[in-house]
Structure formats: structure tokens, C-alpha cells
Amino acid sequence: MKEAPSDLSKESIIPRPVSVISSGEYFKLRPGTDVYIREDSEELKQIGQYLVDKLKLPTGFDVGLKVTDTKPHSGCFVLTTDASKSSLGEEGYEIAIDKRIIYLTAASPTGLFRGIQTIRQIMPVKIESAEMHEGPWVIPTGTITDYPDYSFRGAMLDVSRHFFGVEDVQRFTDMLAYYKMNMLHLHLSDDQGWRIEIKTWPNLTIHGGSTQVGGGKGGFYTQEQYSDIVQYAKERYITVVPEIDMPGHTNAALASYAELNCDGKARELYTGTNVGFSTLCTTSEITYKFIDDVIRELATLTPGPYMHIGGDESHVTKEEDYIPFINRVQDIVAKYGKQVIGWDEIALATLKPNTIAQCWANIKNANTAVGQGAKILMSPASKAYLDMQYDKSTKLGLHWAGYIEVDTGYMWDPATIVPGVGKNNIIGIEAPLWSETITSMEELEYMVFPRLPGYAEIGWTPAASRSWEEYKVRLGKHGERFKAMGIDFYPSAVVPWTGL
Ligand code: TNX
């Protein structure tokens, strides 16, 4: 065990920071440690308390939160927002560690929160334990300056094919936060289940939420539960992006309300895994009344700027119906003050200037979207899909887009995936987890880890500063951290795990 690490630049921080300079000594956390905040605001108190809570249990120290301008005593953390640090951007931060004190400074509270994740990662692994441990609690001294390359760095969870409850989603949110991701995309509706309560259309969840793939009991979030998820994410500076997939992937809605079908007949609930067989009736007015109600209620519950409208794999919607449908839905979303994201197929329609196309399969669609001035969210299935199997022996997952070993998932650059779609066309990256084969949190973790940290790094660290050979060593050291957090990860043979 390392008694006194003294080279900050050798710490395994993921995503890799912009700059780490070691000063060759070490800081030691002691029983009297406190977290100081310089401003008496609820937000700063919440961030300070988050750090206090992370430290308290594993160290057993009675860590306090102090709102004060006084000189900190030795062994403390000092958290400061400083508007003059605006060059760090909204999410950037600086950490200066000397033998006595750890100073965390950022232009905004978001940056402080991101910086706390770095502090967690340079603390001994046992800081992530749910039990109390003996010290020493030492950190090497030096300075870290850090900010992200892309502004949108996220993951998607499909809660429709298999339902995941509030606590599972919160645990997933904590995983994103640890790697400085800032977007949580929830795929809330699909053929197999409608998962968000809509008060004006109650049967969507009563009937449409009552099952899932394989015929299990499914489930849904009440509006209150959804708000709890949104709030939990917000406290971690993560924006929830809700998705209502349409006009395809709508069997659960079509089973709940007969009038949404062109033939006026309700469909049977569906518990298989086929795609592309369902469509809303795009030529009937009641469909748009339905969408207006759903988007209005969801927009009210969602403080973030985005509303994802799906739009993928609408194989049974005629193109001449699909295009006016997407155009009209974009207007509805705009009416409720939100910005549209849709899967790349929406590029067939006339995109609004601020609409974002999520590139998952069709390169031509990405070019068409960019040709209309739209921005691209990069989620190429063959690189970024968390439901793709690692290799032929993986029991969970699918492989229609190929196998994605941990190195394959890491070694790509969003700005060179689609010829003609460069960095200035791209807002960021997202790694989706589709859940046709994923039934529990253990299974989720096995597919998500250890790939998620790689996607977080692709979004945060410039391509020129990344290499698999260097990254795999840092990732190998995170295995112990996954273990301390109780994460069931895939112990890939391409990663040099240490301490397991
Ligand atoms: C394609 S990706 C889909 C999903 C499936 C996924 C399985 C996308 C926009 N549509 O409906 O769940 O493949 O990998």
C-alpha cells in the first residue's frame, strides 16, 4: 500500500485532465478536517455537504461544513467560486493542493462539482467504501487545471424494454457523475412499455406500462418520481433528456388508446424484441392533440432545455407521412420552450435551426442534418452502444453493430466518424444502453463498466491528448474503485487490472 504518494501526475484520473503539475509533497487528511465554503448560498452549501458526505463515512472523521472567510486550518478543503476564472468555462475547475490545504476553485458551482470528482479519484480507493477504514488519507501535492472538450457528454438508459426503478436510475446517475458526464437521456417509451405518467392520458401507464420484454410486470414513474430523478441529477449537475419515441416504437401507446391507430383498434401489448412494426396515425388530429398533451406535461416536469422525440426505425410510416409528422412535432416542442433532439432519421424532415440529430447508424443522415445547419450528437452504434457485446463469449447484449471490446469503445474520435461532419458540427457524445437483454442493475453494470469511463473521456479530453496505451493503465487502476463501489464490471482481458 502506498503510504505517501507524492507525484500527482501519476494519479489515475478519468477523464484525463488538461494539466496536472506535481509539486512532490503530500497532503494528509486528519480527524479535524473541515470543508470551507466562501459564500453563504444554498447551492454552495449543497456542494460542500456532498463532499463532506463522501469523506465522513469511510474516514470516520467528524468532517464539518464551514461557511466562512477566515483562514482555513491545516488539513482542510476550501471551495470557492471566482468569476475571474471564467476562462475555465462552465464546467472547468482548478485544484491547488499544498501540504496544508486543498483549494478547489471554479467559475461556477458546476465546475466545483466536477472538481470534487477529481478529488475523489486522487484519494485512496477506500474513500469509495461503504465502511470505515484506517488512514493514512494522503494526496500528492500540486495543481490541476481542467475543463471539457465537448459540452454534451452523456449516456442513455432504455427503461422501456426493461423497467428500472428510481433507485437504479439514481445509482446510474452517480456513475455518470463520477466520470463528469453531464447528460442523462431516458428512453421513456417504446413498443414494450410507456414509463412516464401523463395525467391527461392515464391509460398510457396503467395499461401501457404494465409489462416489458419477456412479459414481466414492467412499471412506470409517477410524475413525482420522475421529478425526484430530475432533482437528483440536477444536484449532480446532470441534465435529464427525456425521450418519447415517435411515430414508430409506439406500440405501448397504441395498445393503451385505440384512437391513436388509423384503424381505430387498440393493439395488443408487446413483449418481444422486434423493431419497426408500429406507428402513430400521422394523418389524424387526435394524434397531435395526444403529442401536445404529452410534451406539455413532460416539458413542465423537465427543467433542462432538451426534448428527445425519437424518430428512429419508423419502417411502417410512409416517408410522405413521416416528414410532415416530424416537422409538426418540432413545432409542438418549440411551443413548450424546448429544443428537439431526434435520432438521425429526422434529417429527412426540415430541421429547425436548433434541432440536434443523434447519429447512430446512417452517415448520410448526419450529412443531411449538417447540410441543414443542425448540430450532431455522436452515438455511432459500432463504437458507442453499451448494449453491444464485448466479444463472442458475452452472454448479455446484442451484436448487430459488431462487438465492442473496451479498446474498440475507446479508440475513436467523434470528429472523424462521418466524413464532412467535423468538430464544429458536433455538440458531443452519448453512449446508449438499450435494454432488450438487460433485466437488472447487475446486468446493467456489467455492460456499462468498464466502457463508460472511456466514453466520458472521449467527451472530455481532446483527441490529441488520448491514447489507448496510456488510458488502459489508468482504467486498470479504476477496477479497485469499481469494486469498492460494488459495481459488477466485466474484467476485460485487454485492461491491465491492478489491485483486484
Ligand atoms: C436500434 S438505436 C434501435 C433500438 C434498439 C437498438 C438495439 C435506435 C435509434 N434504435 O430500438 O433497441 O437498436 O441495439
pLDDT at 115: 98
Higher pLDDT pick, 72 / 255: 255
Give the pLDDT confidence of 178-211 residue by residue, as tens digits. 999 999 999 999 999 999 999 999 999 999 999 9
Q: Ligand 1 within 6 A of 387 CB?
A: yes
Q: Give the closest residue (by CA) to ligand 1 atom 10.
A: 312
Q: Ligand 1 within 6 A of 489 CB?
A: no
Q: How far is the CA of 496 from the centre of ligand 1 (A)?
A: 32
Q: How far is the CA of 41 from the centre of ligand 1 (A)?
A: 43
Task: Give the number of the atom of ligand 1 that is nearest the alpha carbon of residue 358.
Answer: 9
Q: How far is the CA of 381 from the centre of ligand 1 (A)?
A: 9
Q: Give the closest residue (by CA) to ligand 1 atom 13.
A: 434
Mean pLDDT of 481-496: 98
Mean pLDDT of 27-56: 96
Does the annotation mark 313 as catalytic?
Answer: yes
pLDDT at 6: 83
- Cell digits of residue 223: 410524475
Task: Check pLDDT > 50 for residue 27.
Answer: yes
Tell me the C-alpha to C-alpha distance, in Å, between residue 9 and each of 82, 442, 469: 25, 33, 17
Q: Ligand 1 within 6 A of 313 CB?
A: yes
State what percent of residues in the chain have pLDDT above 70: 99
Q: Ligand 1 within 6 A of 343 CB?
A: yes
pLDDT at 3: 54
Task: Check pLDDT > 50 for residue 85.
Answer: yes
Give the pLDDT confidence of 1-20 residue by residue, as tens digits. 445 778 999 999 999 999 99
Q: Ligand 1 within 6 A of 275 CB?
A: yes
Q: Ligand 1 within 6 A of 248 CB?
A: no
Residue from 249, 313, 385 whose mutation best tests the ligand 1 pocket (most atoms within 8 A of CB): 313
Give the pLDDT confidence of 322-372 residue by residue, as tens digits. 999 999 999 999 999 999 999 999 999 999 999 999 999 999 999 999 999
Mean pLDDT of 217-222: 98
pLDDT at 1: 43
Give the pLDDT confidence of 275-287 residue by residue, as tens digits. 999 999 999 999 9
Task: Give the number of the atom of ligand 1 that is nearest the alpha carbon of residue 273.
Answer: 12
Give the pLDDT confidence of 117-126 residue by residue, as tens digits. 999 999 999 9
- Cell digits of residue 227: 421529478
**What does the mean pLDDT of the chain come to?**
97
Annotated catalytic residue within 313, 319, 345, 443: 313
Q: Ligand 1 within 6 A of 388 CB?
A: no
**How sure is the predictor about 500, in pLDDT bands with cuts at 50, 70 and 90?**
confident
Q: How far is the CA of 434 from the centre of ligand 1 (A)?
A: 7
